[in-house]
Structure 1
């Protein structure tokens, strides 16, 4: 009707069946993504979270400059060297030139003691948390959304 064409009962039925089927498929794929990411090693989940963070910030105009190593002001107990907190990303915005530090975390993983120390002392760090549920929802949304777009294209 929006396109100035008549809509038939058949059009509505086909769209409803396709929407329901793709909704079920999207939910199944979303659950599979969620469950499979939960079964990854902590190292793999960390790398996945870091990759998601990089993509999110790249879209906002930030380019990764490397990691950010910040001295805590303490010495390590065993070797007596300057202790430091290592953060996953140091980004610089290509438009504003603003620099930020971002630490990626997956599900409920926490900060290290050194990271907590420098943050408690006022060092500004953004925590970007990726979750298996969020990845599953994104996969479900991508399936359902792309299917909706395909359905709209076939009705032209």
Structure 2
């Protein structure tokens, strides 16, 4: 906009200086005045055209691109939050699985020699909990990789 305003200011200064010159002198040829007026009119028209083109570009290109950019940023932040949440769920499931495995191993090692009915039952229960958690974790990971990630990729594109 600085260019447009500078040209307008220059045109106004030229008109004012010409008017002052006409007041001071009686000699001012009509052809020179016609040339000056046509040049100023042409310059003003060019400036107005440039100003209109800049406004149209801003309205038709820049503003829609800003809206698209804002929407994409919002999508990215939502996807990032979802990914972090899914990663936390997977980490919790993995930690739980590791804890159950450690508990099962410890129980098995402690009671390996003295296999009584109660200890066998505890070992089997621990083993079943571990296997169940392992299945749930694997199902969760499979669901995340086969369904959630493709959906996220579709939303992102």
Q: TM-score, normalised by structure 2?
A: 0.29
Report which of the two structures shows the higher radius of gyration computed on alpha carbons.
2
In terms of fraction of residues, the more helix-rich structure is: 2
Give me the TM-score of the superposition, normalised by structure 1: 0.29
Structure with more of its chain in strand, by fraction: 1
Q: Whose RCO is larger (CA < 8 A, sep 6+)?
A: 1
